[in-house]
Structure 1
Amino acid sequence: MMAVDWAGYGYAALVASGGVIGYVKAGSVPSLAAGLLFGGLAGFGAYQTSQDPKNIWVSLAASGTLAAIMGKRFYNSHKIIPAGLIAGASVLMLAKLGARMLQKPQQS
């Protein structure tokens, strides 16, 4: 039995809910679309890593892309919400995935 990637699912929920909140508060359709797209990708990546811990590529692509985009937005705006929060969470996911890549395979 494989371990469930709870951190990945939590990250996906954070990203998706951020898009929904952006839509509700500001009527931003691009925020909604991006939040649901990247939240869905992060959720799919969490599912993949739950099935096979070595299959991190979708999670890596989603969190890496969001870290770059939202990191740039945070750098330009200095606003913690939403850019800083998503950039920080994305960097933490990248660190988690990087640590997983560096782990030695377990012997049975």
Structure 2
Amino acid sequence: MPADFIGFGYAMTVAAGGVIGYVKSASLPSLAAGLAFGSIAAVGAYQTTQNPADVKVSLANSGTLMCMMGYRFFNSGKFMPAGLIAALSLLMVMKSGYKMMSQ
């Protein structure tokens, strides 16, 4: 069974976004949220790698992040970083939802 490379890539992107937010503006909340959500996304990707039908963690994590960052994007109107993470999270929700429905 192949590894969930898309899920691991998403996890690394979210974690890297938190680190970049910290480096650019010394924002500890960005660092904490990025590393927390990135770690949970990595756990979800690992679970999906072990059992492709086990998408609950990945779906909950990306859905939460999609809502949070989508809200920030609509309030600020700035695509970077909130809009990008919201869009990537939407794609992950669609991927996980498709896997859940097809099993």
Q: TM-score normalised to the size of structure 2? A: 0.98
- RMSD, matched Cα: 0.7
Structure 1 residue 103: Cα displacement? 1.3
Partner residue in 1 for 2:89: 90
Give the number of aligned pairs. 103
Secondary structure at the counterpart of residue 13 of structure 2 = helix
Partner residue in 1 for 2:30: 31
Partner residue in 2 for 1:49: 48
Q: TM-score normalised to the size of structure 1? A: 0.93
Which consecutive segments of 4 or more residues in structure 1 shift more than 4 A? none
- How far apart, in 1, do the equivalents of 2:59 and 2:15 lie? 17
**Higher helix content, 1 or 2:** 2
Structure 1 residue 75: Cα displacement? 0.5
Instruction: Tell me the alpha carbon deviations over residues 49-73 of structure 1, each in whole angstroms, 9 at most, x when there is no partner.
Output: 0000011111011100000000000
Q: Unpaired runs of 5+ in structure 2? A: none
Identity of aligned residues (%): 59
Partner residue in 2 for 1:63: 62
Partner residue in 2 for 1:81: 80
